[in-house]
A and B are shown apart, each in its own frame.
Chain A
């Protein structure tokens, strides 16, 4: 009997009534997830760079990912705020004023899928969320099947040369794709590296997370230092760097580009 009561209580606590939840999505990937799981109509406010899907562009802005305007936020009468970082200035105030605060800061591909499920539960869109998560997981499993361990250099920025270090989101994306990040052992978020170190690491593929950077110039540069066999691939940073529902699109695109480049080689 006691067990049943506890279970009932737990059910009541774990599945709150969702109707009329008014959500602040305080990072671009959070916005994307909410729209993807069908919670878009509950979102009442967003921050800068919440630009996908198009509907999100129309949302009132209440700040940036790293700071919010509490008054503007309260004017939207939110009941829930989903944040990247609990330490963001203003979040503690919102919490004190009775807004439910939920954190979503996925640091790996698995955590992205986990967060989609979790946000689905918390916003009352379990079904769509678990469908989406299941779909992403299947696509991820397919990608994981091929582990080539090709050494790659991820050129976050060219001048100065910045790359992704150990335990970063990008490093995880690369290892999920079966690639070997040549600076995956460096214990820094975005280490500035020396071109000599890249030559010594001898990557086979350079990945540039931008479609606007002068790819011709960068390709010529890398050909000069790493030989004509080096492959240079560009990816859309919004797809690869945002821990949101479009991540698998980005990973598949990257994988496809890799396959294409490598088949050219043979």
Chain B
């Protein structure tokens, strides 16, 4: 039996691969520390208090973004959809940057602002959910442009130092998640479970709304639920790490190319694949120009694009 047909086998295989990769990445940093045998007290603290929470945050955020991307792609019936397509990232950024402008010296306010902003954005988008995917998508894209404009306005009004911080937040930062790691991993697990429960209906939805309805799917309810689920997951990811582009767009496609388009496998593979991609990208971000760090969003694209293009070419021949 192929691994594609057994979700459990796939889950455990991917889990094992992810753990191995994470274990290796744990050693990389300012200097190499053997995760099996840290030589000093400070090394073991660096390992367990700095590197591992950050790696796990990256894994959970990457996985959630990929799941949200997969859901938006089927919900909107559009391969270009990604977690930020409906403007959730934009409204979250507006919330975060407003918080920076109003209480510049309170770090947690930024996360709170992002979270509130994300949900304001979601609430507005939700009121278009009943209008069908094309109008929903249009509303989302226009809203995204609106948030982008407000963001530009805020940035124009910020002092010079504030601008540096605003950009730092917008390019993603995994080192200072305001949400504890366990809650992110929990959210990741819950998201994956919800996804798997829905996977059969999602497969039907892929055939088109009419076909899905004739196969017994309550399409309007599914759409609302899916929109809420995907938006909530995106909001959590954005609150934890700022806006990290590209993972949510490319990972689901990548996984479809590798594992076929049945949602059971796509969702399991995306949850792990997104996590691993973001772990790789973040490790590169903090080591490539050490002691300085790169914004992780740059690295996700730099690693993801070549892999994706290569796979696209290979599948056609």
The chain A residues found within 8 Å of chain B, CB to CB, are 48-49, 64-67, 156-162, 165, 183, 186, 188, 190-197, 199-201, 210, 212-214, 237, 241
Contacts and interface: CB of A to CB of B under 8 A. Distances in A.
Contact of A193 (B46, B164, B291, B295): B291
B176 A214 contact: no
A194 B29 contact: yes
Interface string B171-198: 0010110000000000000000000000
Interface in B35-66: 42, 46, 50-51
B50 A193 contact: no
A48 B290 CA distance: 36
Interface in B1-58: 29-31, 42, 46, 50-51
26 contacts: A64-B157, A157-B165, A159-B107, A159-B175, A159-B176, A160-B168, A160-B176, A160-B293, A165-B292, A183-B292, A192-B168, A192-B292, A192-B293, A193-B292, A193-B293, A194-B29, A194-B286, A194-B293, A195-B175, A196-B50, A197-B30, A200-B30, A200-B31, A201-B291, A210-B105, A214-B105
Contact of B29 (A65, A193, A196): A196
B177 to A, nearest CB: 10
B161 interface: yes
Given A188-B292, A194-B29, A196-B46, 13 more contacts: A48-B159, A64-B157, A157-B164, A158-B107, A159-B107, A160-B173, A183-B292, A192-B293, A194-B290, A195-B175, A196-B286, A214-B106, A237-B161
A160 B297 CA distance: 14
B42 A67 contact: no
Given A158-B107, A210-B105, A214-B106, A197 B290 contact: yes
Contacts of A165: 292
Nearest to A63: B156
Nearest to B165: A157
B292 A191 contact: yes
Contacts of A213: 105
B160 interface: yes
Nearest to A186: B292
Contacts of B106: 214
Contact of B168 (A67, A162, A200): A162
B156 A194 contact: no
A213 B165 CA distance: 15
A225 to B, nearest CB: 8
A49 B160 CA distance: 10
Contacts of B165: 157, 162
Contacts of B160: 65-66
A201 B291 CA distance: 9
Contacts of B292: 165, 183, 186, 188, 191-193, 197
Contacts of A195: 50, 175
5 smallest CB-CB distances across A and B, nearest first, come from A197-B291, A191-B292, A212-B105, A196-B30, A159-B176
B291 A194 contact: yes
A48 B168 CA distance: 23
Interface string B279-295: 00000001000111101
A222 B211 CA distance: 60
Interface string B290-308: 1111010000000000000
Contacts of A159: 107, 110, 173, 175-176
Contacts of B291: 183, 186, 191, 193-194, 197, 200-201
B161 A67 contact: no
Nearest to A156: B161
A186 B176 CA distance: 22
Given A157-B165, A161-B175, A186-B292, A64 B30 contact: no
Nearest to B163: A66
A199 B42 contact: yes
A49 B159 CA distance: 8
Contact of A190 (B31, B159, B164, B286): B164
